[in-house]
Structure 1
Amino acid sequence: MSAASLSAGADTPSAAELDWRPKSQLPDAVRDSLPVFCSGGYLPSGFGEDDSAVFGESPDGAAALQASGLNARYEIDRELYLQGDVQVRQGSFQVTGSEARYSQSAGQVSIQGPLVSRGDGFLLTGERAEYSVDSGRFDINTATFLLHGPEMRGSAGSLSRVDDSRVEIHDGMLTTCGPQQNDWAIVASEIELDQAEGFGTAKHVRLEVLDVPVFYWPYASFPIDDRRKTGFLYPQFGSSSAGSGAFIATPYYLNLAPHYDATFTPQYIHGRGLFNEVEGRYLSGLGETTLQLGYIDNDSAYADDNPAESGQRWALDASTRAAFGSGWNGYGDFSVVSDEDYLSDLNRSLEINQATHLQRKGGVRYQGQNQYFDVYLNDYQTVSDRIAQADRPYAQLPDVVYAGTAKAGVFEAELESQYTWFYRDNDTLTGLDKANGQRFRARPELALPMRALWGFSRPSVSLDYTRYELEDYSAGTNGFDRTVPVVEWDNGLYFDRQASLFDVPYNQTLEPRLYYAWADAEADQNYIPSFDTALQTFRFEQLFRPDRFVGGDRVGEANQLTVALTSRFNDLLTGAERARFSIGQVQYFEDREVTLFGEGGSDRSRSPLAGEVVLNPLQNLQIRSSGLWDPETGDTEEGRSQLIFHSEDYRYLASVGHSYSKGELDQSDIAAVLPATDRVSLIGRWVYDSDLDRTVGSLAGIEYNNCCWSVQVVHQNYLTDDQQLDSRILFQIQLKGLGGSGGSSTSISEAIYGFDERERRRFGTR
């Protein structure tokens, strides 16, 4: 649209109005990328037009000035005057207007509007302008502007395009809302937009909501694209019963260098005081390191509840990852808190259960084609004082793991080995609980793998050898070993057929599997301490393992045969697995006498039936169910079912789950995000424990979106270490193009599957 087409008496459209189109008038590619809550969008500069000028580039000073109009008057070497449908161009600079006067001696072009200057990602309109032929500076009075990239529009008393990427605005306003929709705006006496650096600055700034001032800053800096920029982030605020009331946080981001940055977050918690958090990130050529620290000097609520304790509380979390090349990697994780209530009182996470042990682990790992090596130090902080010393984990100082595979003709040789020095402060304990020491374990194996398209067979023999050197050991000599021979034979067949269902061709497989395991282990191993050993939870995958213990301090005897059957349904059009059904059972030929201090033994001849069902009827719908059913008693021993659904655009999210363990756990979990309208969505999660007959976690909130801002308000209950329900309210406002607080959406993502992807798409670029 040219300025000449505007009648003198008509209201001149703003830059945003020139390029704004209702959703129905947008091309399919642009319309389909719009969120449902947007009523329209902008067409990029030159979209669908034959316009070769690029406004965002500096004009070439050597280029000739080109100008045209319906009427022209020229005084040689002095002045050129144009009138009617005026077009001025120099290099990449172009502008249209009603009149233009070019002074050759001054190198200045005066243009009368209504004028339009359009380019790559930028559009300006105004009443009159001055253009310097030598410097390329462009000054407009009574201007409006539009940046297509961030979809930021505004107006100004005067505007200066200083160079190819920098614009200065005086007495200006800017927003990312659509034309005639001033839901929010930044109004300032001076605004500078630097597209090269990706940020803007403003002086004497007012944030206006519906044209009503709500906040004032003497100076502000804000991003206009996704590059990092030092400055304040959006404040976070809400309330928490654990925090004794309301809290407000004002994060400040420090873009210190391209490879490291930091975020400092002071926050005031009513009833507790000033709480500070710092996060630093460092990126090197090897990898990334992150350090997080939380500190409150005098927590008045904690000091009142714990008179013997100081009100000074803190937490530290550090992690690092490094890639040295040639398969070598380094890693480290360290966490520590000042007291057991820190996570309940000051943690902002929506996790239902709080951690009981914080890990400190660091080491070096090598991953080759046929070899694996890992050496690390590993320790824990036990957060809860209520956990008995005998139940606390051992540190591994160090732990060295090596595994390798080699071909030996038709045979395959494997070796798994581990050396560990276990340590725990056991001064107050007695018996086996008091022992510390070293353990070496090696498991060489020789197998004969045979594979074909119709099946496989893999017989193998191995030797499970363990050596102990112990301290403070009272059950015999400090040094002893254990050797257990193991025989395994794994067999499977593949049958398949093709058919169709609802006119969709699919391939169905039938996969019977037989697995035999034999291990000759001594029945009484309870003279050995338990450093890291536990009884494995029985699942379908456990059907194909010879040992029922995890860890190295027990090796179970075995004489058993597993019979299992799996059937898959694969869509031949897409290749996707639409369904999988699996069921299996173990037949025991001998009693299991090896126990972990009384646990793990049994004289039953058959295991419960273990089954799995996985259904993927749609690309965005998955149903999973697994469980154990005892045919002797008719009881369900364990079960876990889950349905996960999301619409293609992630506007709809839903998950339903149920977890059951006989005599231990019976919980149901429901979560959903449901749009009530195009702009309003309801958010919820509920976790109910049938054994306790109570809610153990809940989340309820509402979200409003339009094309330039959104708000979330969430109320959440969560179970703390002392089995009490604490509650808090989280609140977030996000202004499109200026970022958001991250207060509630980050936390909701941890509670509801798919919410993080939904957030990414909600204000995604198009």
Structure 2
Amino acid sequence: MRARIFLCITLLYLCHPQLWPQAVTKQFPPAAGAQPTGTDSLPDDPSASSEIPVAKVIPAPPTGVPVEIRADTQREINNVYTLTGNVVIYYRTYVVQADKITYNRDTGDVAAEGHLIVDGSPDNEHITATHGEMNLDQDTAHFYDVVGTLGVATVGPHSRMVFTSPNPFAITGREVIKLGTGRYRVIDGTMTSCRLPKPDWRLLSKQINMADGKASARNTWFELMSMPLFYLPYVTHPVDGETRTAGILLPIVGNSTTKGLILGEEIYFPLSRNSDLTIGTEYFSKRGYSPMGMFRYRGFGEDFFNVRFHALFDRLPAAENQGGTDLLVDGRRDWGQHTRAVVDAEYLSSYAYRQAFEENYAIAINSEVKSQFFGAHALNGFAENLRFDRYQSFQNNTTNAEIRILHLPALQLEGEDHYLGKTPWMWGGIASVAVLSRAEPENDLNTATFRTRGVPRVDFHPHLAMPFSLDGWTFRPEVAVRDTFYGRSQNPAQLGVVPSVRDASVNRKDFEAGIDLRPPAIERDFTAPWLLHLFGGDLRHTVEPDVQYHYVSGIDNFDSILRFDDVDIASDTSELDYSLTQRLFLRHLHPHPCKGDEALGPDDLCGGGTVDWLSWQVAQKYFFNTDFGGAVTTGTRNVLTTTLDLTGVAFLTGPRTFSPVISRFNMRTSSATNVQWDLDYDPRLGRITASNVYAEYKKGDYAFSVGDFHLNAPEAPPTAQTPQTAVTNATSNYNQLRFSASYGASTKAGLSAGTSIGYDFVQNQLQYGAGQAGYNWDCCGLSFEVRRYSLGTVRDDTQYLYSFTLAGVGSAGSLRRAARIF
């Protein structure tokens, strides 16, 4: 039996000397009555008479790599092709062009002569050479007299070249040896990130090695605008945009009247794919060393974590020493859609250091330092958050006297309005538990006579509301209770005397009621051809009145409550809040393609739909309880919950019936224009107590902004008191102008320029002024800035800054991005 089987197998093999694999697939029969082309349908063929699919044998797909060859003349001997005249070979991702090519189909070897051009490969290379040899299967090659670019691909029917890397890498060389995918050696060549054949800058070396996404070379000359500038014993350059390499950054050089000559250097370390570290130091010839550093981390989604610090070891005597440290930490971590943790913290050792050496003008004049860390979870209208924060308010720049308030920690539970069963009533509220501390100096000598440590506070504030509508009128009556327990309290003191802390606990309770009444809005539409021509659409004008009444009763121990935040300034009140809001809506009838800042949004068409074009609110409060249950102390500024709800100006310097009239105006006609004006007018004083105006305009390369911020609020009423509480007619007078204008951008080719100023009308002094000009060539740019600070005795400084940028390498200089005008 075995011999018979062996004989059958042998005969089968002899009859079929080549055995090919076969594949079986389902093929459906042709439609009824259809006759397949080139075949005869047999009567017993089930595919011709039945709708049941049958299995048929199909040939196996061809093996090997498909090659397309084009040439004026072709000759082939034993799979070796000799091609001449306009030769083009398409092989995998390669496109090889030359005047003459010899191609071995068995080995993949290519020998090309005359005008050799190679595009494609796994490295997206574009190589031009006089001649060369290649192995298309092994991704190896040897080119001669080379000009090429890595990170460039050809797309589209017209072979349009596009950059596949944010910083394409360009090389030239007498010889270029490709050792494999991503590995090259350049002999007697150059490297740059500029456009060839005339790059703005390049690095020249006898040998350049490229591997693992970076290029390195020794004994290199840096050439700018065809002029050799300096010698580099060792240099690295990224080949693609994803590669980051540790190394020494370009040096920092600058000059300042306060710092003197500035010399600095930084070192960069990539720690992982999504984190890096930069550390360095600057030397100020007049002041000493200034170390600095930055750590960056980027995670999935919106997760990030940054740490930045800068300091100064000032060598001046103690009386003039302005050294200090500024450490900033910010980050975010999300756990799903409903839970996240956020940190935004700062440690500032000296306010004088900030004023004297902070580059950003707005930060330099800010006397507050805020640090907070919180975790929050929100789901189904309920939110829980745990918070740690630290607040500092520096009182001067010499002794570091400060007011310090701590929440360590504060746990808050908040519930949005939910219907109470199937009733029309809605319930919600806030409950919190906190441990609080406060320290406040008596005078500028930083002697802390008022200090609390670890004061526990429990606050419970639920409310019940029943909103309803009637004939277009909207009503929301609401009742609430509040109970706040403090582990410690304070001994009330007369005006001008700092209260003292006592260990006795205190419990504050109140009952609250109120109603929010909103009549129907009055509206009118305006449609006319001239409106369409002027504004591009129709206008709708609305008038929205709003009347609210609030009543709080039961707080009879206001003077015994320690003050930490807005929870502690609740008081009795009976007040009427009335406001009138006018809005102008614009309905665009002709959408246009998004451009400029509009293109940053999710839509492709902009200018369509209806926008809140203009809004203007006027509001005031009437107080039936003029002294707020005894919470108002005559002769000083009083800040209560009811005043913070209206304005940030402390207008309560004694009992009063009417609040100031506030006006809030906002206009945004387009993405290019923004105007805001907040104004407070106090009829009791007969003058404007606050006026903040800000206007901004952006159009193409032009950007303008102007802001005037004016405060003229009283510190005390103009009434005579006892000698112990004598007050004057002093005011908190503040009036500053900010203006900036710029043309261009940091990445704009050609010339860009801008200016920024800060002027104090009270001091009649230009506190800050800066002018910047820059010019960008093809792949490098140069910027200069002159900056002037005049902040009293603490800072009188003129700085001369510059920044030099190389595309694909980085920036060097003393002009940092955060302080640039544009």
TM-score (norm 2): 0.73
The 1-side partners of 2:373 and 2:775 are apart by 44
Task: Give 1:687's aligned residue.
Answer: 758
Task: Give 2:35's aligned residue.
Answer: none
Task: Give 1:620's aligned residue.
Answer: 672
1:370 to 381, 391, 396: 381
2:515 to 489, 495, 499: 489
Task: Give 2:113's aligned residue.
Answer: 112
Higher relative contact order (CA 8 A, sep 6+): 1
Which shows bigger deviation, 577-586 or 668-677?
A: 668-677
The 2-side partners of 1:224 and 1:350 are apart by 38
Contact 1:587 1:605 in 2 (8 A): yes
Task: Give 1:764's aligned residue.
Answer: none
Contact 1:389 1:426 in 2 (8 A): no
Contact 1:523 1:557 in 2 (8 A): no
Q: Does 1:200 align with 2:221?
A: no
Structure 1 residue 476: Cα displacement:
7.5
Structure 1 residue 477: Cα displacement:
7.6
Contact 2:361 2:768 in 1 (8 A): no
Go from structure 1 to structure 2 and tell me whether the alpha carbon gap of 1:572 and 1:513 turns closer, same or farther (over 3 Å shift). Answer: farther
Contact 1:185 1:207 in 2 (8 A): yes
Go from structure 1 to structure 2 and tell me whether the alpha carbon gap of 1:605 and 1:553 turns closer, same or farther (over 3 Å shift). Answer: closer
Which one-letter code corresponds to 1:205 in the other structure?
A: T
Go from structure 1 to structure 2 and tell me whether the alpha carbon gap of 1:642 and 1:595 turns closer, same or farther (over 3 Å shift). Answer: same
SS in 2 for 1:343: helix
SS in 2 for 1:526: helix
Structure 1 residue 112: Cα displacement:
1.0
Structure 1 residue 138: Cα displacement:
2.1
Which one-letter code corresponds to 2:204 in the other structure?
A: V
Q: Does 1:698 align with 2:716?
A: no
Task: Give 1:37's aligned residue.
Answer: none
Write out per-residue CA displacement over residues 449-487 of structure 1, whole angstroms, 9 at most, x where no aligned residue: 225895532111122332222178568881222222222
Task: Give 2:658's aligned residue.
Answer: 606
Alignment of 1:457-476 (within 5 A): 457-470=475-488
Contact 1:236 1:731 in 2 (8 A): no
The 2-side partners of 1:68 and 1:572 are apart by 56
Which shows bigger deviation, 126-135 or 86-95?
A: 86-95
Go from structure 1 to structure 2 and tell me whether the alpha carbon gap of 1:678 and 1:102 turns closer, same or farther (over 3 Å shift). Answer: closer
1:124 to 119, 123, 127: 127
Structure 1 residue 685: Cα displacement:
0.7
1:558 to 551, 574, 585: 574
Task: Give 2:157's aligned residue.
Answer: none
Which shows bigger deviation, 337-346 or 249-258?
A: 337-346
Alignment of 1:169-318 (within 5 A): 169-179=186-196, 181-193=198-210, 198-231=213-246, 232-242=248-258, 244-282=259-297, 287-294=303-310, 299=313, 302-306=314-318, 314-318=325-329
SS in 2 for 1:230: coil
Contact 2:781 2:805 in 1 (8 A): yes
Write out per-residue CA displacement over residues 178-212 of structure 1, whole angstroms, 9 at most, x where no aligned residue: 44543222222233455xx5443333322211111
Contact 1:245 1:271 in 2 (8 A): yes
Task: Give 1:629's aligned residue.
Answer: 681
Q: Does 1:529 align with 2:544?
A: no
Which one-letter code corresponds to 1:276 in the other structure?
A: P
Go from structure 1 to structure 2 and tell me whether the alpha carbon gap of 1:264 and 1:723 turns closer, same or farther (over 3 Å shift). Answer: closer
Task: Give 2:428's aligned residue.
Answer: 414
Write out per-residue CA displacement over residues 124-177 of structure 1, whole angstroms, 9 at most, x where no aligned residue: 211111122552312211111134323554421112344344443222223344
Contact 1:290 1:318 in 2 (8 A): yes
SS in 2 for 1:250: strand
Go from structure 1 to structure 2 and tell me whether the alpha carbon gap of 1:103 and 1:478 turns closer, same or farther (over 3 Å shift). Answer: closer
The 2-side partners of 1:452 and 1:111 are apart by 88
Structure 1 residue 521: Cα displacement:
5.3
The 1-side partners of 2:783 and 2:448 are apart by 56
SS in 2 for 1:135: coil
Q: Who wins on radius of gyration, i.e. which is larger?
A: 2
Structure 1 residue 372: Cα displacement:
2.1
Task: Give 2:621's aligned residue.
Answer: 586
Contact 1:608 1:631 in 2 (8 A): yes
Structure 1 residue 122: Cα displacement:
3.2
Structure 1 residue 494: Cα displacement:
2.5
List alignment gaps of at least 5 residues for structure 1: 1-59, 533-549, 756-766
SS in 2 for 1:595: coil
Task: Give 2:465's aligned residue.
Answer: 447
Structure 1 residue 558: Cα displacement:
2.7
SS in 2 for 1:351: helix
Contact 2:372 2:390 in 1 (8 A): yes
Alignment of 1:615-764 (within 5 A): 615-631=667-683, 634-648=686-700, 651-662=701-712, 663=731, 664-675=733-744, 679-718=750-789, 723-741=794-812, 744=815, 746-748=817-819, 755=822
Task: Give 1:423's aligned residue.
Answer: 437
Q: Does 1:479 align with 2:550?
A: no
The 2-side partners of 1:414 and 1:661 are apart by 37
Structure 1 residue 621: Cα displacement:
0.9
Q: Does 1:433 align with 2:450?
A: yes
List alignment gaps of at least 5 residues for structure 2: 1-61, 153-162, 492-499, 590-607, 639-651, 713-730
Write out per-residue CA displacement over residues 397-416 of structure 1, whole angstroms, 9 at most, x where no aligned residue: 32222222332121111222
Go from structure 1 to structure 2 and tell me whether the alpha carbon gap of 1:455 and 1:353 turns closer, same or farther (over 3 Å shift). Answer: farther
SS in 2 for 1:306: coil
Task: Give 2:99's aligned residue.
Answer: 98
Contact 2:581 2:615 in 1 (8 A): no
Which one-letter code corresponds to 1:122 in the other structure?
A: E
The 1-side partners of 2:787 and 2:470 are apart by 55
Contact 1:143 1:156 in 2 (8 A): yes
The 2-side partners of 1:143 and 1:428 are apart by 77
Which shows bigger deviation, 126-135 or 225-234?
A: 225-234
1:351 to 336, 340, 362: 362
SS in 2 for 1:465: strand
Aligned length: 664
Cα RMSD (Å): 3.6
Which one-letter code corresponds to 1:638 in the other structure?
A: A
Structure 1 residue 702: Cα displacement:
0.8
The 2-side partners of 1:193 and 1:645 are apart by 47
Structure 1 residue 333: Cα displacement:
4.5
Go from structure 1 to structure 2 and tell me whether the alpha carbon gap of 1:719 and 1:569 turns closer, same or farther (over 3 Å shift). Answer: farther
Write out per-residue CA displacement over residues 661-697 of structure 1, whole angstroms, 9 at most, x where no aligned residue: 1142111110111259972122111111111111122
The 2-side partners of 1:615 and 1:226 are apart by 42
The 2-side partners of 1:389 and 1:155 are apart by 60
1:63 to 62, 65, 85: 65
Task: Give 1:507's aligned residue.
Answer: 540
SS in 1 for 2:244: coil
Go from structure 1 to structure 2 and tell me whether the alpha carbon gap of 1:637 and 1:682 turns closer, same or farther (over 3 Å shift). Answer: same
The 2-side partners of 1:596 and 1:487 are apart by 25
